[in-house]
Structure 1
Amino acid sequence: MRKLAIVTTHPIQYYAPVFQLLAQRGNIDIKVFYTWSQSSLKKTDPGFGRDVSWDIPLLDGYPYEFVENTAPEPGSHHSKGIINPRLIPAITNWKADAVMVIGWAYKSHLGVLKYFKNKIPVLFRGDSTLLDEQWGLKNLLRFLYLRWVYRHIDYALYPGTATKAYFEKYGLKKPQLVFAPHAVDNTRFAANRQSEAQELRTGLAIRDEDILILFAGKFEDKKDPLILIDAFLSLAQSNVHLLMVGNGVLEARLKQKANGHTNIHFMDFQNQSVMPVVYQACDLFCLPSRGPNETWGLAVNEAMACSKAVLVSNKTGCAADLVKPGKNGSVFIAEDKESFSLNLATLCISKENLRLWGTESAKIIAGRNFTKIAQAIETTVIN
C-alpha cells in the first residue's frame, strides 16, 4: 500500500473528516504531520477575539504526529511561525511514497516542497484565487516568485473554478490539476434540527411567516458585515429579520448601527454542534465578503447543506461554482451597496421562493463531499 504523508499546520473541522475517511477506506496508508503544536487545539482566534476549541473530534480515527515547532512566535498567521527542524526527517523515516502539503507560505512547508521534489510525488492543496489581483511592480515580483514556488509541486488539488485559474496562471499544466472540492459534513448539517431551529426563532420573536437573513462568521472587514446591516436597514420590511452570529473587531460598530432596530439580532460565536440549528432557522444565508482572500467561504457549503438560499459577493471564491443566480440565490458586486441592496430586496420578496431555492442548494452541494476529496487524493497517489 502506498504511503502518503500529509503536512498541515493544525487540526481543523474541514480536513479531519477527510483524514478519517482516507484511513477508513484503506486504499492508501496516511499519516498527518501537524506543524504548529498541540497547543493549537485551543487557541485565541484573532478574528473572533476569543479562545476557539471545536466541539467535534478532530484527532480520532487516523494516525498523526505533532512535530516540534521551534519558531520564537509559533502560529499560522505569519511565515516564520512554523519552523520544524525534525519534519523532513520524520517524513523520511516514515518512508512516505508521496507527500501532500496544505499551504506553502510557512518556512517548513516550503522546505518540504523543495526537499521532496524529484524524490517522491509532491501534492499540494491550496485555494488561492485571482479575485483580488492587482497590477504593479510588487505583483510582478510576486508572480515570478509564485512561478518558482509551484515548480516544486507535481500535482495541485483545487476546489473550484477560481483556484484552477490561479494555478494555471502560475504555470501548472492540465495534467497536474486535480479537482478536489471543498466540502463540509453535509449529512451532519442536513440532519433534522427543526425543533431546535423553531425554538431559536421563537426566542427571537420571529414568526413562521417572517423571513430571517443570516450572517455567520467573523465580524471583520474582509467579510464586510457592515454592508449587510446598511442594506438590511434600507429594506425597512417589518416581516424580515437579520441574525448576526459571531464576534470580532467590528462587533461594537455593528451593534451601534443596529441599535434600536428590533428586527436585528446578535448571537456570539456558536460551535460546530450548534451551527446546523442556526442555519436551519434562517431562510437566506448571506456572505458579503469584500476580501482580500475570501478564497472560498465554507459557511456557504454549510448553509446549502441545510437547504438554504444564498447571497454572496463576487469576491467570494465559491461564487462561480456554488451560486446559480435565479436557481439557488444570487451574486452581487462586492462593496457595491446598490447592487447588494437590489439583490437582497429581490430575494426577500417571497419566502416560498427562498424555500425552493434552498432545495436547489441542497442538490448542488450534495456532490461536493468528503468522499470526492478522498477519491481525488487516492487516485493521484496510486497513479
Structure 2
Amino acid sequence: MTQAAGTLGANPAHPRVAVLFHRFGPYHVSRLQAAARHMALTGIEFSGTDRTYAWSASETFPFSRIVVSPDSDAERVPALFRKMTAALDRAAPEAVAIAGWSNPAALAALLWCTRRRVPAIVMSDSTEIDEVRKPWREAVKRRVVSLFSTGLVAGAPQRRYLAGLGVQNRLIREGFDVVDNEHFATGAATARRDAEALRRQLALPPRYFLASCRFVAKKNLFVLLEAYQGYRGVAGGAAWDLVLLGGGPLETELRAAIAGRGLVDSVHLPGFRQYPELPAYYGLAEAFILPSTTEQWGLVVNEAMAAGLPVLVSERCGCSEDLVRPGVNGFRFNPFAPRELMGQMLTIAGKDCDRMAMAQAGQAIIAEWSPDRFGRALRQAVELARNAAPLAPDPIGRWLAAALLCRRERTDG
C-alpha cells in the first residue's frame, strides 16, 4: 500500500472525507481536485493497475492519496480486506464516498464503514436500463445499498434508480459525472486557430463526424457504420468523413466491416489517444456521435459539448436526458435504428442546420456540469450523512455484503 500527500484539503474546519475509485484517471483527478476545495480529502485508489483503460499514470496529485493494492483484481479477498482496512484506518475519515457497490474493494470499504459507524456515501451512475434487472438481484442490492447514508449520482435517471433501491430522494445529490470543461474548451479553441496545419499533422480530413470510445460491443459501432454508409449514399460528394477514435478487442472486425462497406477512404481510425491529445480531435470535428446500446452516462458527451460540438446521442446513454436537448444542442436517437441515426447525420450536416448555435447552446448547458459541481454536491452529501441520525447497521445487509465479497474469493479460487 502506498501513500502520497498533496497540498490541498488541509483545512481542519473541513470534514475529513475519503473518496474511493478503482483507479485515478484524468476524470477522477479533476473531480477530486475540485472536491479538495470543499473538504479535507484523501483519495483512495483500489488498484494501481487498470485493465480496461490505458491511462498514463500520474505522478503528482493535489490531494492526499493512498493506493490500496498494486492490482486489486489479483488480490485474494482476505488480503484485500486487510489492506482496505489499513488504508481507511490511516485516513481516519469522518465520511467515506465509494464508487459503486459491487466491486470487492468497494464492499470491503462499505463493511469498514459499518464496523466503525462512519457514514458512507454511494457514488453511482447506474440506471434502470443499464442491463436486464432480475428481481432477486435487485432485492439483494437494496439490502446492500441500505448500508449507505446518502448518494451522489450522475443525473436524473440515476437518481430515480437509486431512489428505487431505497435511498430517500432528499438524501441524493446530482453531479457525479463531470469533466474538466476548461481542458476541452481551451484545447479545442487552440486547435481551431491552427486547424490547417494540425489536420495535416494528425492526418485528419477537412470535415468529419467524431466518435470516441472503446471498440467493444456495447458501443454499437457496426450500427454506426451502417448509418454512416447510408448517410454517404444520400449526401454524395458533400459527405463528411467519420473518425473513430479509440481501440479495443473489436478493432479487427471493425476494420473488416469498414472495408466490406467500401468505406476505407472515408472512415479513419487514429487509435487510442491520451487525455492531453483529445481536445484537438474534438476541435477539428463538426459533430459528435455516441451510438451505445447501453451506457451508464457517457463522459465523452460532456467532452464534446465542452469543446463546442453538436451531439448525436443514443437514448440508451445515461447522459442523454440531462445533457441533450433535441433541436437545441443536438439530437437523441434509437441505437437499434440505423436509419434514424442516418437522418440525424443528414440534418446536422445539412446547410440549414445552425451548428454554431447548437455548439454554443451545448457549452452553456455543460457549464452547469463542472468539476466544482461534483465537489459541492459531494460536500452536501457528506453533510447530509453526518447530520442524519446514525443508521442502525442492517445485519442482513452486512451479511449480504460480506457474502458477495466472499463469493469473489470462491470464484477466483
What range describes the TM-score normalised by the shorter chain of this pair? Answer: 0.7 to 0.9
Taking the TM superposition and a 5 Å limit, the aligned residue runs for 1:236-247 are 236=232, 237=235, 238-239=237-238, 240-247=240-247
Does the alignment pair 1:148 with 2:124? no
Distance 2:352 2:255 in 1: 26
SS of 2:80's equivalent in the other structure is coil
Q: Secondary structure of the residue that 2:98 maps to in structure 1?
A: strand
Alignment-derived partner of residue 110 in structure 1? 107
Gaps of 5+ in 2: 1-12, 385-413
- Give the whole-Å Cα distance in 2 for the aligned partners of 1:256 and 1:228: 14
Distance 2:196 2:362 in 1: 21
Once superposed, what is the RMSD of the aligned Cα atoms?
2.4
Q: CA deviation at 1:180?
A: 2.0
- Aligned letter for 1:221? A
Structure 1 residue 97 and structure 2 residue 100: aligned? no
Whole-angstrom distance in 1 between the partners of 2:85 and 2:78 = 17
Q: Structure 2 matches for 1:78-97, cutoff 5 A?
A: 83-97=80-94
Q: Does 1:206 align with 2:205?
A: yes
| Residues 264/89 of structure 1: CA separation in 2 closer, same or farther (3 Å cut) | closer
Q: Shift of residue 124 of structure 1?
A: 1.1
- For 1:86 and 1:235, how far apart are their aligned partners in 2? 54
In structure 2, the residue matched to 1:231 is: 227
Task: Measure the CA separation in 1 of the matches of 2:140 and 2:170.
Answer: 22
State how far apart, in whole Å, the 1-side matches of 2:291 and 2:167 are: 31
C-alpha displacement at 1:64, in angstroms? 0.9
Report whether the alignment pairs 1:327 with 2:353: no
Q: Counterpart of 1:101 in 2: which secondary structure?
A: strand
* 1:217 Cα offset (Å): 1.2
State the secondary structure of the residue aligned to 1:218: coil
Describe how 1:119-158 pairs up with structure 2 within 5 A.
119-134=117-132, 139-158=134-153
1:180 corresponds in structure 2 to 175
Q: Secondary structure at the match of 1:86?
A: helix
1:287 to 284, 287, 290: 290
Alignment partners' CA distance in 1, 2:131 and 2:90: 40
Amino acid at match of 1:265: H
Alignment of 1:12 onto 2:25: yes
**Are the aligned partners of 2:34 and 2:374 in contact in 1 as well (CA < 8 Å)?**
no
Letter in 2 for 1:271: Q
* 1:290/1:205 CA distance change after superposition, 3 Å: closer
| Aligned-residue offset at 1:133 | 4.6
Pair 1:278-2:281 in alignment: yes
Whole-angstrom distance in 2 between the partners of 1:264 and 1:278: 14
Deviation sequence 1:292-345 (CA, Å, 0-9, x none): xx1000000000000100001111110001111100111111211222222222
One-letter amino acid matched to 1:30: L
- The answer on whether the counterparts of 2:153 and 2:172 sit within 8 Å (CA) in structure 1 is yes
Shift of 1:15: 1.3
Q: Secondary structure at the match of 1:274?
A: helix
How far apart in 2 are the matches of 1:131 and 1:72?
A: 27
Instruction: Name whichever of 229-238 and 80-89 sits farther off.
Output: 80-89
Partner of 1:343: 344
Q: Which moved more, 1:276-285 or 1:90-99?
A: 90-99
Distance 1:81 1:346 in 2: 56
Contact 2:173–2:380 under 8 Å retained in 1: no
SS in 2 for 1:84: helix
Evaluate the alpha carbon distance shift between residue 298 and residue 351 of structure 1 in structure 2; reply closer, same or farther with a 3 A threshold.
Answer: farther
Query: Structure 1 residues 205 and 95, CA, compared in 2 at 3 Å: closer, same or farther?
Result: closer
Structure with greater contact order relative to length (CA < 8 Å, sep ≥ 6): 2
| Structure 1 counterpart of 2:108, one-letter code | G
Distance (whole Å) between structure 2 residues aligned to residue 125 and residue 59 of structure 1: 24
Structure 1 residue runs without a partner (length 5+) = none
Which letter does structure 2 place at the counterpart of 1:206? P
Secondary structure at 1:134 match in 2: coil
SS in 2 for 1:282: coil
Number of residue pairs matched?
A: 359
C-alpha change, 1:121 and 1:265, in structure 2 (3 Å) is same
Distance of aligned partners of 1:149 and 1:351 in 2 relative to their CA distance in 1, 3 Å threshold: farther
Q: Distance in 1 between matches of 2:139 and 2:79?
A: 24
**Does residue 28 of structure 1 match 2:49?**
no
